[in-house]
Structure 1
Amino acid sequence: MPKTLLRAVSAILLSLTALSAPAAYADDETTPVAVTVNARAALATVPQTGIGTNHAIWDTNLGTDETADRLKDAGVKLLRYPGGSYSDIYHWADHTAPGGYVAPNTDFDTFMSGVRRTGAQAMVTANYGTGTAEEAAAWVRHANVTKGYGIKYWEIGNENYGNGHYGSAWEADNHADKSPAEYARHVVAYADAMKAVDPTIKIGAVLTTSANWPDGLVGEGDTGTWNKVVLSTAGSKIDFVILHWYPGALDKAGHVADMIHLTREQITKYAGTGSERIGIAMTEFNTGSSSAGTTTQPGALAAADAYATLLANGVFTVDWWNVHNGIGPVTQVEGHTDYGDFGLLSSATCTSDNSVCEPALNTPFAPYYALQMMSRFARPGDQFVRAATDQPKVTAHAARRPNGDLAVLLINTSSDTSYPIALDYSGFRPAAGAATVLTHTNGATSITTSTAENPTLPPLSLTTLVLRPASSQTGLPAAPGQPTASDITDKTATISWPAASPGARPIAKYELHRQNGAISEQLGETTGTSFTVNNLKPGTRYTVNVIARDSGGGLSWSSPPLTFTTGTPAASSCTVKLTNQTDWASGYVGAIEITNNGAPINGWTLNFTWPRSWQSLGSGWSAVWTQTGSDVKVVNEAGNGSLATGASTTIGFVGNYSGPNVLPTVFTLNGTVCGTA
C-alpha cells in the first residue's frame, strides 16, 4: 500500500478512532498484578519467518547496508518486495513501474543483497494487475535458477479486491473482468507457470480480512464473497493466503483469534482436499492511526501485542508496513513528537513547509523496538503458551523455549501507573533467583537488560522476563503430535494424536487438557492415543492439547493445539436455520427460519446469545425482538405464533458488528436446544 493511500486511510480513521489515555488507579500502585502463565496450554510454534517488514521500490534507502543492519538488529526474518500497491504496476525485468516513482538502487538484485545481509528470507509479490503469468515465471527463473536465491514465498498480486469491483479502486488492474473469479483463474495460471520453473516454491493468494472491507460483500455477478470464489477456484493450487490488517486503533488484538479462526474455516470449507496445508500470512500490518501514535510508544505497545497474538494463532509471518515511509500528520503523543510515519525507521523527511523534520535517517521509531523485543521474546522454535493478567491495562504473552526456559512478555498500556507483578505458573516451575529482564520504556532508544525476581512494569512499557526451569529438562518424553477430532456431536468428540517418542523412561499415559484462558481443565487421560470426550456443550469452540507423562512422572511439552466446535442436537423438537443474506462488512441482514419438529406449538420464544461483545441487534421484524446484554429474546407476533408439526416461520433482523462476525449457533425454542440446518 503506497504512503499516499495510507495517509488517506489514516485521515478516515482519525475521524473514527481516538486514543484515550488509560486512567490510573491509585489502589493498583501497590497491589501486584497477578500474572498467570500456563505452560500446558500450548499455542503455535514460533516460525522462522515470524518477524517481517515491507520494502518499497520508491524508498531510496531500500538496499543500503545501514538499513539492512538496522533490520538485522531488530531480528527481522522476512522482507517483502516490491512494496504494496506498487506490486501491481512493477515490472522486474526492466525495473519500471509506469505511473509510479522508482528510486535508484532499488532493483530486485539490490533488494536481495540487503535480504542476505539482514539474514532474512524474501517474499516477492508478482504483478497481477498489469503483468502476466509468463512475466512472473521469468522472475522465478531469474531468482531461483539463474541467481540461486532460493526464494520460497511468492504472492500473486496485492489487495486485488481494491480494483473497483466493489466500488473503491486503488489497485491497478488492466483486466476487463475485475471479479474474484477472474483473479482466481489467473492465480491458477500463475501457479502453474511459476511452479513449472521451480516446483518447490509456495504460492499465495489474496483474501479479504474478516470484518474489514470488502469482506462479506458479494459483487454483482459473483457467486459468493471474494474469499469463497478465490478459494473454491484456486484452493488446490495455492500454499498460503494473504491478509492485510490496519485496525485503526490500539486495542484490537482481541479480534485476532476470531479473525484467524474464520479464515481457517473458509479455507477448510472452500479450498478442497488437503486444505490443511494452506498457511496464513499477514503481509501488511500497521496500527493504521497516526493520532494513536505510529512512531511513539503506544504504537509500539500495540505492535508487540498484535505480533504476539497473530503468531500465537498460527500466522507464519507478520510484516510491518513499512521500513521507510515518510512524514505524515505531526502530533504530540504521550510526551513525544509523533511524526505520523508508518515506517520503522526515519526517512529524515520534513513537512511541506519544513516546519518539522524527522530525526536523522534510519533513526528507529518506537515500533522498531517492539519488533526487536518480539524477536528476543519469542524465537523461532519456541512454543507460545497461554498467559493472562487480572489488570486490564497489562497484557501478557508467554513462550516456552526448547531448552526449558520460559519467556513472558508484559505490556503496560497505562500512561502514568507502574505495576508490580506477582507471577503464578501451571506446568512450569522456575529456578530460584532473579530472572533476566528486558525493558523498553516510553521514549527510550534501546532495550535495557537487568535482573529481578518480580520487576515493576513502568508506564507505557514492554517488559520480557526470561526464567530458567527449576529442574533438568533432559530425558523427558517428546511432545505428542498434532491432534485431530472426529465423530463430533453436540456433546461428544473423539480426539486422536500421534504417539510421543519416549525419553529416558517409558510413557505411562497421555493427558488431554482443555484451554480455558490461562487455566487448563483436564478432560481425561488414557494409555492409548485416542480419547472420547463427553459432557461437552453444544455449539462451543474448544481448544485442547495432549501431554505425555512418563513412568517417573516426567511431562512432555504440550502437543500443538487442536480447535474444534461442537454441533447442535441431531434430533430435536425444533430446527433453526440462520442465513446471512446481505453483508456490508460492519453489519448484515439475517434471516432465521424456525421449524417445529414436535407437537403443535401455540406461542413461541426464541433465545440466543451473541458470541462476541462487538455484536448487537440493530432491528428485527416478523417478531418482537429485545436484547439484554448479549442475550437476544424473540417472541412471536400474533400471526405466526402457532406452528403445527413440520410447520416453519421465518423472521429477520439486522445484526451489527465491529469485529470478526462469529455467527450464533445455539438457539433455544421455548427452552429446548434446537438443531441447526
Structure 2
Amino acid sequence: MPKIPLRATLAALLTLTALNAPAAYADEPAAVEVTVNARAALATVPETGLGTNHAIWDTNLGTNETADLLKDAGMKLLRYPGGSYSDIYHWADHTAPGGYVAPNTDFDSFMSGVRRTGAQPMVTANYGTGTAEEAAAWVRHANVTKGYGVKYWEIGNENYGNGHYGSAWEADDHADKSPNEYARHVVAYADAMKAVDPTIKIGAVLTTPANWPDAIVAEGDSGSWNKVVLSTAGSKIDFVILHWYPGALDRTGHIPDMIQLTREQLARYAGPGSERIGIAMTEFNTGSSSNGTNTQPGALAAADAYATLLANGVFTVDWWNVHNGIGTVTEVEGHTDYGDFGLLSSGGCTSDGSVCEPALNTPFAPYYALQMMSRFARPGDRFVRAATDQPEVTAHAARRPNGDLAVMMINTSSDTSYPVELGYSGFAPAAGAPTVLSHTNGATGITTSTSGTATTQTLPPLSLTTVILKPSSVQAGRPGTPGQPAVTAVTDRTATITWPAARPGTRPIAKYELHRQHGAVSEQLGETTGTTLTVRNLKPGTRYTVNVIARDTGGASSDPSPPLTFTTGTPATSSCSVKLTIQTDWASGYVGSIDITNHGAPMNGWTLSFSWPRPWQSFGSGWSAVWTQSGSDVKAVNEPANPSLATGATTTIGFVGNYSGPNVLPSVFTLNGTVCTSQ
C-alpha cells in the first residue's frame, strides 16, 4: 500500500470537515463596519427638537395620562390646534365651523397638558378663515393675560392646498388664493402679533422641495410659492414651515438636499439677514400604509428621519399625530398594523367592528422610536458623522457636553442579526461594557443593559440600538471650541474661511486645522496660526461641509466648530459659457433649456457633457442635439446637419429632466472637455 503524504491527509480531513460543517456557519453575515467621526460636527440638538401634533378633535388632548406618556417619550414641543383644522379654528369661542371640536380641548386645556409634559407650545394662527386681529388677540390672551410665554406662532397650515394649484383641502376664504396674497397677510399678521409681544417668533408656510406643489408656477404668479412668499415676507418671519409625508421608508437620503435647498431659497429670496430664519418640520409621518405606519418598520424609519433632520439643523420635528385613529388594517412583520398615524392608540375599531386597536393610549412602535431618540440625542448634544458599510444598517452619533458619545444603530433587516464593529475618529472609548439601549420588533419598551464592548455589538433584526460610551480619559485644559465659521470669496477652486478664535486652555493655541467632512471621515484641507484660511484646489460645483479644530502647543485638540456648508462655482472666465433655464416644472420633472456660447476658436463639432448630482434624477427626452445617458452621465452632441459653433455664437438645446427627490440641478458643464462658466 503506498504511503499517503501527511499534507494530503490533512487536506482531505479539512475538506471533509468543511463538507460536514453546519450550514449556519456559511450563512453568518459579515460584520458591519460602523464608523464614527467625532471631529465631523453637525448641528446641536435643539431644546425643541422632538415634537408632536395635538388636534382639537382628539378627546384625549391635554389629559394627564396623555401628557405623562408624552413626557416619558421626551416630547419637547406640542403643536396646536391640529393640521388643517388650524384654518377653520377660532380660539376665542373654541369653534371650528365644518369640523368636530372635542370637549375639554380649548387652548387653556392644551396649555395645561403642555406644562405637565414639560414641553413648549407651537400655535398655528388661523389664516384660512381668520384675521390678523384675531391672531393678535390670541397672542394677547396667551402671553399677556395668561403669561404662557408662547414663543412659536405659525401663520396658517398647508395654505398652498387652497385650490390655487388645482387640489384643494385647506380652507381659504380669501378671493385671491395666490402666494402673493398669503405673503401679504403674513406681513400683516406678523406686524399685528408682534405689536402685542415683540419676543414671539413668526413662521410662514413653504412647500417642501420635490413635494407637490413645490417649484410649480401658477398662472399669474411671478414665481413658485416659496419664491413669492419669501420675497415678500422674508424680512418679517423668523422661521419657515415644512411638512413631509414621504410615503416610503427609504427616503431619509433625501433630507440633506431637502434642507440645503430650503436654505438656498432663503438666502436667494428672503433678503439680508436670512441666516437668522430657522426651519421647522411641523408635520412628519412616514405615511407608508403599505409598509406599516404603527409597526416596527415605520418606527425605524421615523428614528432615522428624526435624527437626520435634526442633524441637518431643523429646530423641531413634529410627529403627526398624538392620536389619529384606525385605518387600513394589515399584517406587518408578524404584528397587526392598524394604519394609524398616531403615537398612541385611540382604542377604536373598524367600521364593521371586526378589528379593534389596543386599549386607549397604548404606545405604538413609533412612540418607542421617539423615546429612543430622546435618550440618544439630548438637548445640547452635538450630532457628529456616522456611517456604515451595510445598506440595511444605518448609524447616527451624538457627542455630549460631558464628553460622552452616544451611537444609535438601526437594523432594518427582517431576518438578519448583524454583528457590528465600531471604529472611532477623534474619540477614544473607555474599556469595559457600555450602556446599551435596545428596542426590538414587537417590544413594549426599551431595554437597558451593560453588554458587548465599545467596538463590538450585535443588532437584532428590526431593531433600534443605542450605545452610550464614556471617554477613556478626560483631557483637562483643552482648547475651547472655535466659533461658527463663515465663507467669502468662493470661486470654482478657492474659498476663504474665517472663524472666531477659540478660548485657550492651559496651554496656548498653536494652530487651527480646517477639516472637510467626507462621509464619516475627515479630510484636512489646511491649517493656520490665524483665524482665516484660503483653501485651494477645490472642485468646481461641489458642496463642501467643513469644521475648524484648535490645537494647542501640547498637541491637545478642541471639539470641532459648528459646521459650515458652501458650494463652489464654475470658472469666472472660460472658452465657453452655459446657461440652464427651467422653463416649466411639475414637481417631479421639468423642461430645461440650455444656452451654449462659444468664446473660443470656431468649432466644427461639439459635445456638451454633465452629470446628474443625485441618483433619483434622470434624462427623459431632448431636442436640438443628439442626447445620450450612461449611468448619471449625460451627453448632448451636435446634430449632424449643424456641427458648427462659431466664435461668439450661441446655440440652444432642450431636454426633459425627471426627479423623485430634491432636484439639485447640474451646475458643471463641459464643452469638448473644457469646464464652462455657468451663468
Which residues of 2 match residues 32-43 of structure 1 at below 5 A?
A: 32-43=31-42
Query: Secondary structure, in 3 states, of the residue corresponding to 1:528?
Result: coil
Distance (whole Å) between structure 2 residues aligned to residue 237 and residue 540 of structure 1: 32
The Cα offsets for residues 511-532 of structure 1, whole Å up to 9 and x where unpaired, read as: 1000000010001111100000
Report what 1:489 is aligned to.
Answer: 491
Deviation at 1:31, TM superposition (A): 2.1
Deviation at 1:26, TM superposition (A): 8.2
Deviation at 1:30, TM superposition (A): 4.3
Q: Is the 8 A contact 1:28 1:419 kept in 2?
A: no
The Cα offsets for residues 340-377 of structure 1, whole Å up to 9 and x where unpaired, read as: 00000000010000000000000000000000000000
Which residues of 2 match residues 98-117 of structure 1 at below 5 A?
A: 98-117=97-116
Distance (whole Å) between structure 1 residues aligned to residue 261 and residue 301 of structure 2: 22
Q: 1:27 to 1:466 in 2, by over 3 A?
A: farther
Distance (whole Å) between structure 1 residues aligned to residue 262 and residue 25 of structure 2: 42
Report what 2:613 is aligned to.
Answer: 611
What is the letter of the counterpart of residue 510 of structure 1? Y
Q: Is the 8 A contact 1:580 1:589 kept in 2?
A: yes
Matched, 1:527 2:526: no
Deviation at 1:504, TM superposition (A): 2.0
1:511 to 510, 513, 523: 513
How many residue pairs match? The answer is 653
Q: Is the 8 A contact 1:405 1:467 kept in 2?
A: yes
Deviation at 1:136, TM superposition (A): 0.2
Distance (whole Å) between structure 1 residues aligned to residue 188 and residue 472 of structure 2: 56
Report what 2:88 is aligned to.
Answer: 89
Query: Secondary structure, in 3 states, of the residue corresponding to 1:348?
Result: coil
What is the letter of the counterpart of residue 353 of structure 1? D
Deviation at 1:640, TM superposition (A): 3.5
Q: Out of 578-587 and 447-456, give the one that drifted further.
A: 447-456
Matched, 1:558 2:557: no
Structure 1 runs of 4+ aligned residues shifted over 4 Å read 25-28
Deviation at 1:510, TM superposition (A): 0.6
Matched, 1:467 2:469: yes
Which residues of 2 match residues 46-195 of structure 1 at below 5 A?
A: 46-195=45-194
Distance (whole Å) between structure 2 residues aligned to residue 262 and residue 115 of structure 1: 33
Q: Which has the larger radius of gyration?
A: 2
Distance (whole Å) between structure 2 residues aligned to residue 35 and residue 481 of structure 1: 29
Deviation at 1:194, TM superposition (A): 0.3
Distance (whole Å) between structure 2 residues aligned to residue 29 and residue 238 of structure 1: 55
Which residues of 2 match residues 641-656 of structure 1 at below 5 A?
A: 641-656=643-658
Report what 1:10 is aligned to.
Answer: none
Q: Is the 8 A contact 1:51 1:75 kept in 2?
A: yes
1:546 to 542, 545, 548: 548
Distance (whole Å) between structure 2 residues aligned to residue 639 and residue 162 of structure 1: 48
Distance (whole Å) between structure 2 residues aligned to residue 139 and residue 500 of structure 1: 44
Deviation at 1:553, TM superposition (A): 1.5
The Cα offsets for residues 163-210 of structure 1, whole Å up to 9 and x where unpaired, read as: 000000000000000000000000000000000000000000000000
C-alpha RMSD over aligned residues: 0.9
2:595 to 593, 596, 610: 593
Matched, 1:355 2:354: yes
Report what 2:392 is aligned to.
Answer: 393
Distance (whole Å) between structure 1 residues aligned to residue 198 and residue 628 of structure 2: 57
Unmatched tracts of structure 1, length 5 or more: 1-24
Give the TM-score, by structure 1 length. 0.96
Report what 1:640 is aligned to.
Answer: 642
The Cα offsets for residues 598-643 of structure 1, whole Å up to 9 and x where unpaired, read as: 1111110010000000000000000000000000011001343211
Distance (whole Å) between structure 2 residues aligned to residue 527 and residue 26 of structure 1: 55
Distance (whole Å) between structure 1 residues aligned to residue 590 and residue 627 of structure 2: 16
Report what 2:345 is aligned to.
Answer: 346
Query: Secondary structure, in 3 states, of the residue corresponding to 1:183?
Result: helix
Query: Secondary structure, in 3 states, of the residue corresponding to 1:288?
Result: coil
1:661 to 657, 660, 663: 663
The Cα offsets for residues 232-272 of structure 1, whole Å up to 9 and x where unpaired, read as: 00000000000000000001000000000000000000000
Query: Secondary structure, in 3 states, of the residue corresponding to 1:640?
Result: coil
Query: Secondary structure, in 3 states, of the residue corresponding to 2:595?
Result: strand
Q: Is the 8 A contact 1:404 1:473 kept in 2?
A: no
Query: Secondary structure, in 3 states, of the residue corresponding to 2:618?
Result: strand
The Cα offsets for residues 71-112 of structure 1, whole Å up to 9 and x where unpaired, read as: 000000000000000000000000000000000000000000
The Cα offsets for residues 488-528 of structure 1, whole Å up to 9 and x where unpaired, read as: 11000000001111122221111100000001000111110
Report what 2:427 is aligned to.
Answer: 428
Unmatched tracts of structure 2, length 5 or more: 1-23
Distance (whole Å) between structure 2 residues aligned to residue 380 and residue 557 of structure 1: 17
Q: Out of 501-510 and 530-539, give the one that drifted further.
A: 501-510
Q: 1:430 to 1:124 in 2, by over 3 A?
A: same
Deviation at 1:545, TM superposition (A): 0.3
Deviation at 1:446, TM superposition (A): 0.3
Deviation at 1:563, TM superposition (A): 0.5
Distance (whole Å) between structure 1 residues aligned to residue 183 and residue 108 of structure 2: 29
Query: Secondary structure, in 3 states, of the residue corresponding to 2:52?
Result: strand
Distance (whole Å) between structure 1 residues aligned to residue 58 and residue 511 of structure 2: 57
The Cα offsets for residues 121-151 of structure 1, whole Å up to 9 and x where unpaired, read as: 0000000000000000000000001111101
Report what 1:4 is aligned to.
Answer: none
Distance (whole Å) between structure 2 residues aligned to residue 641 and residue 662 of structure 1: 30
Q: Is the 8 A contact 1:37 1:424 kept in 2?
A: yes
The Cα offsets for residues 210-231 of structure 1, whole Å up to 9 and x where unpaired, read as: 0000001001100000000000
Q: 1:26 to 1:600 in 2, by over 3 A?
A: farther
Distance (whole Å) between structure 1 residues aligned to residue 631 and residue 88 of structure 2: 49
Deviation at 1:28, TM superposition (A): 7.0
Distance (whole Å) between structure 2 residues aligned to residue 198 and residue 168 of structure 1: 36
Query: Secondary structure, in 3 states, of the residue corresponding to 1:455?
Result: strand
What is the letter of the counterpart of residue 255 of structure 2? V
Query: Secondary structure, in 3 states, of the residue corresponding to 1:251?
Result: coil
Report what 2:319 is aligned to.
Answer: 320
Deviation at 1:559, TM superposition (A): 0.5
Distance (whole Å) between structure 1 residues aligned to residue 238 and residue 476 of structure 2: 36
Q: Is the 8 A contact 1:403 1:473 kept in 2?
A: no
